[in-house]
Each structure stands twice: as structure tokens, then as C-alpha cells.
Chains A and B, each alone.
Chain A
Amino acid sequence: MAAPRHHHLALAVAVALLVVTAAAADEGGPRGRRVLVLVDDLAVRSSHSAFFASLQGRGLDLDFRLADDPKLSLHRYGQYLYDGLVLFAPSTPRFGGSVDQNSILEFIDAGHDMILAADSSASDLIRGIATECGVDFDESRVYGWCQDPEAMVIDHINYAATDAEGDHTLIAGDDLIQSDVILGSKKIEAPVLFRGIGHAVNPSNSLVLKVLSASPSAYSANPKSKLASPPSLTGSAISLVSVMQARNNARVLISGSLDLFSNRFLKSGVQKAGSKIRHEKAGNEQFVTETSKWVFHERGHLKAVNVKHNKVGETNEPGMYRINDDLEYSVEIYEWSGTSWKPYVADDVQVQFYMMSPYVLKTLSTDKKGVFSTSFKVPDVYGVFQFKVEYQRLGYTGLSLSKQIPVRPYRHNEYERFITSAYPYYAASFSTMGAFFIFSFVYLYHK
């Protein structure tokens, strides 16, 4: 796929030309650092200050705006003003300025990242954006005529014991995705507090991942009214927080709870109902920090450089191979750590030697310094081949490299010569030739 490569290329060019801000340029990270934060109430800025502080602490340049600010604009003169977006405006019916649902989606399709948080008052606008990203917030109010519009996730078993209101809408979630890339290598011990609406994702949608799922006992309904009909979303089908990585590697985090990011949840202790263990601090802080790192490409972003291939024993890259050549293929893969490019270590990167179908499929071995290499023999088939590396791993940006290379058959003078086992044949051929001369001589002069 060309898009991500082009993106990198464009980025590299931009870096070289110092068009982007110095902050983005100095380390050559995969993403710029300017983030637009849209809130529907400026109070959010203080109620969620811990989360914002952690972002700023990592070098992100936050620009707080009201969602209905009439001067709001994502780009100017054809350039995007921001590299990321934090959408903490769940109830806003429409954005101000030139921003609307389509411009947000274009922003993502241009390779930018977004964190979206909703709550039970989520507007159609927010729901629409989420839907476009493959996440369906609970829409039960449309179907159940008797239900209150404000459905929430309720869990009568796995609620947080600190839940003061007693309607079990404060959920202590601990069903997290098993992924070090998304959630960091340090395990999140404490449950994550959540209060808000649930959503569903299409299981066949490979781009969306459920990061925090509800427990089997959860359901989605309005806690204030009686349950008249079976809830439309139940059990672990409910996702509380999901992430989406688009095909151009833009990353989006969608949470059904804005409170999840709030200072209150970040700071509070947590005890799961029916559990003896009381955590001094909820898992929220670690959770939001790590996931935001992932969203803003401070982790799990791979780049492949220096794709090289050559014949064994040579260093120059040939323009063409011959069948049965032995060749070496190498590529350097690095991962962005947030501050620098670190060698990526894995044992499952594979290269294909491909013409309509893979003729060779080899796993690349790494030297732990970022260089992945292998060597193989060109198949005994000629044609236009491609070196293909298609590396798609959970949480990592996809790598899709392809390099075209023609393979030609032997030239007439390239076949192996003077093979030892063929000497009798040579001898025979020459002996018949010799015999021919002797014969001619004898035949002509025998009289």
C-alpha cells in the first residue's frame, strides 16, 4: 500500500525543509506535536488537568478551544494546523467555524490521530464521527420507545465499591486487551473506572480493537428507568474503550466515558465490588497515559528503511537477477519510542518473493540492532518479481514494502562449464571427433 510510505516520504521531505515546527523536527518522530483540544465547557480543562498535564509533559503542544468557537479551523492555506485532536466535547451538536464531521474525518484520513470521549449525553455529531470510525455507540433509545435516551452501561456485579449513587453505573473494568504495544509493558493492576455509554464494534472489522471491554454481566440501559425490554447491548459485547488504526496508520481512541480521563477518576482509589483488594489509585492514570502514548504514535510506530538486496558476496544492488542466483535481502526496522528511533526486535517479519503468488516466503532474522536480513535462492522461474514485506501486527503500524525486480533466465554463456561428472561426455565427444578425422584419413588412403 502506497499511502503510508508516501506519508513518511512527505513527512521526511517536510522535516528536511523545516516546514514543520522545530519540536517535531528535532527528533524526527513520526508525528508532529500540535494537538487541538476541543471541549464543550472550559471547565473540562481544569477537571481533566492531570491528563492534559501528562500530554504536555510528553512534549505535546495543546491548543484548547471551545467546540463551537466560530474561528475554529483545522487547516489554513492547505496545511493542517494540528497533528492530533482531542475531542472532549460529547454533547456539542455542531462545531464552530469550518469544522464539521467531514472535516474531522478528512483530518483522520490525512493521517492524523484523535482521542474521542463521549458520555451518556453524546450528540449525533459525536456518534456520527464514532460510527465513521467503526464504533457504534448504543443507540437503544431509537428502538425502545419507553427508554430514556440516556442509556448507560450498568453492571451489578463488577461495579466499583466506591459507587456512591448505588445504580452501579460506575464500573471497575479490568478486561483489558493483551497488548504491550497499546497498554505499555507494565501491567495495569488496578481496575479502570468507567462511567458512560457502551458501544459495539463489528467483530469482522479488523481495524477496530476493543481495549477495555465490559464484563459479561454488564448491560446498557438507562439506570433511572425500569427495564421494559431486553437491552440491546449486553455482556462482553459491550466495549467501553476502543481504538482504531486506520489503513493509513492514523490512530483513534474512542471512549464512552469522558470521566475516564478526569482528575477525579485518575486520583481516586478503587475497590471492586465483592473484592477484598483495595487499590489506592485506580488504573485510569496509567491507562490513559499509555493509550494516549499509543494514539499519538509514541509507541508502536515502525519505520522501515534501507531496503537492500544483493547477490551473496556482493554489495551493489543489481538491476536484475538471474534464476538460481543466491541473494541477500535486508531491511532495517525501527520503532519510535517517543524520543528516538529504537531498533525493533521481532522474529516474525517475513519477506515474500512474489509474482502473482509468493514463490519464496522467508522469515527474516534480526541482529537486534534493527537489521532484518535473510538470504535465499531465486526460484527457477523468470519474470518480474517483487520483494514484499507485509508486516501487520496488533497495535503496530503496518509495514508494507514492495520492490520490483526482474529475474532473467540464464544467458547462453552462463551455464555451468566443465563439470567434473561430465568429463566422460566431453571425452566421448572429442573422441568421436578425433575418430572422425582418423576415419577420414584411413578411409581416403587405405588403398
Chain B
Amino acid sequence: MPRATSDAKLLIQSLGKAYAATPTNLKIIDLYVVFAVATALIQVVYMGIVGSFPFNSFLSGVLSCIGTAVLAVCLRIQVNKDNKEFKDLPPERAFADFVLCNLVLHLVIMNFLG
């Protein structure tokens, strides 16, 4: 047991250390993702309390958060310098795609919300 805890401690420490090395722009994205996921979770909890009556609103609320998170993760994958797969994809292009995708997402959300 203590071994396991120390292992976990070590793991967390090394994770933290590794994470500290990530560039700032990725950290911003991570923050954004965390925010979106947290909002999604709050909504799910709220739905659990209130019930699923305006189901479309719930869906659009939660899916907008998840969608945002997913898109941000996609952006993160693309702009990550460590990722070899997207070496030749300029970050500007990646961001433009990201913005386009978000616009579509939010348009749909707005449509579906009411």
C-alpha cells in the first residue's frame, strides 16, 4: 500500500513536472478545455436535479461545452510542436480551421437552443 501511494505520488509529481514543460499557448488551451468540461459537468448535475424537460436546451448546452472542448483538443493536437504528424500544418491555418469549426458549432447550438 505505501508503495502504491508513493508510486502515485511519484506519478503525480512527474506528471506535474512534465506538464510544467508544456508551452504557454497549450496551457491556455488546456485551461479552456477544463473550463468547457467543468461547465458541461455542472449542466449534467443540474439536469440530474431539475430533470430533462427542455431536452433540446440541455443537449445544446452540454454539447456546446463538449464540442468546444473537443475542438480545442483538436487545435491543441494540431499546434503542438511535439506532434510530428502536423509539422507542415501552419498554426495559423489550424487556428482558422478551429474558428470556422467553432462558428458552425455555435450556429447550430443557437439554432437548437430555443
Are any A and B Cβ atoms less than 8 Å apart in their complex? yes
Q: Which residues of B contact A435 (CB under 8 A)?
A: 32, 35-36, 68
Task: State whether the Cβ of B12 lies closer than 8 Å to any Cβ in chain A.
Answer: no
Shortest beta-carbon distance from A58 to chain B in Å: 64
CB–CB A425/B25 < 8 A:
no
Task: State whether the Cβ of A142 lies closer than 8 Å to any Cβ in chain B.
Answer: no
CB–CB B35/A429 < 8 A:
no
Q: Which residues of B contact A417 (CB under 8 A)?
A: 114
Q: Closest B-chain residue to A431, C-beta based?
A: B39
Within 8 A of B (CB), among A168-202: none
Q: Closest B-chain residue to A421, C-beta based?
A: B50
Count A-B pairs with CB separation below 8 Å. 77
CB–CB A428/B65 < 8 A:
yes
Binary B-proximity of A396-422 (CB < 8 A = 1, otherwise 0): 000000000000000000011111011
Task: State whether the Cβ of B83 lies closer than 8 Å to any Cβ in chain A.
Answer: no
- The interface-forming segment of B3-11, B14-22, B55-63 is B55-63
**Bound CA span A166–B60, Å:** 95
CB–CB A433/B106 < 8 A:
yes
Say whether, besides A421-B50, A421-B54, A435-B36, A442 and B68 are in contact (CB < 8 Å): no
Q: Which residues of B contact A433 (CB under 8 A)?
A: 64, 106, 109
CB–CB A428/B29 < 8 A:
no
Binary B-proximity of A432-447 (CB < 8 A = 1, otherwise 0): 1101100110111010
Q: Which residues of A contact B36 (CB under 8 A)?
A: 432, 435
Residue positions of A touching B, CB distance < 8 A: 415-419, 421-422, 424-426, 428-429, 431-433, 435-436, 439-440, 442-444, 446
**Bound CA span A418–B113, Å:** 9
Main secondary structure of the interface of B (DSSP, over half): helix
Shortest beta-carbon distance from A324 to chain B in Å: 14
Q: Closest A-chain residue to B51, C-beta based?
A: A421
CB–CB B106/A428 < 8 A:
no
Shortest beta-carbon distance from A415 to chain B in Å: 7
CB–CB A443/B95 < 8 A:
yes
Shortest beta-carbon distance from A446 to chain B in Å: 6
CB–CB A426/B113 < 8 A:
yes
CB–CB A425/B106 < 8 A:
no
CB–CB A428/B39 < 8 A:
yes
- 11 A-B pairs with C-beta separation under 8 A: A415-B56, A419-B57, A421-B50, A422-B58, A425-B43, A425-B60, A426-B57, A428-B39, A428-B43, A436-B102, A439-B28
Within 8 A of A (CB), among B70-114: 72, 95, 99, 102, 106, 109-110, 113-114
* 10 nearest A-B residue pairs (beta carbon): A425-B61, A422-B57, A422-B54, A425-B57, A428-B61, A439-B32, A419-B54, A429-B64, A432-B68, A428-B39
**Bound CA span A32–B56, Å:** 63
- A428-B42, A440-B99, A446-B25 known; 9 new pairs, CB 8 Å cut-off, are A425-B54, A425-B57, A426-B61, A426-B113, A428-B62, A429-B109, A429-B110, A436-B106, A439-B29
**Bound CA span A442–B35, Å:** 15
Say whether, besides A415-B114, A425-B58, A428-B42, A443 and B29 are in contact (CB < 8 Å): yes
CB–CB A424/B28 < 8 A:
no
Q: Which residues of B contact A429 (CB under 8 A)?
A: 60-61, 64, 109-110, 113
Q: Closest B-chain residue to A439, C-beta based?
A: B32
**Bound CA span A47–B42, Å:** 97
CB–CB A424/B46 < 8 A:
yes
Q: Which residues of B contact A422 (CB under 8 A)?
A: 53-54, 57-58, 61
Q: Closest B-chain residue to A427, C-beta based?
A: B61
**Bound CA span A444–B91, Å:** 11
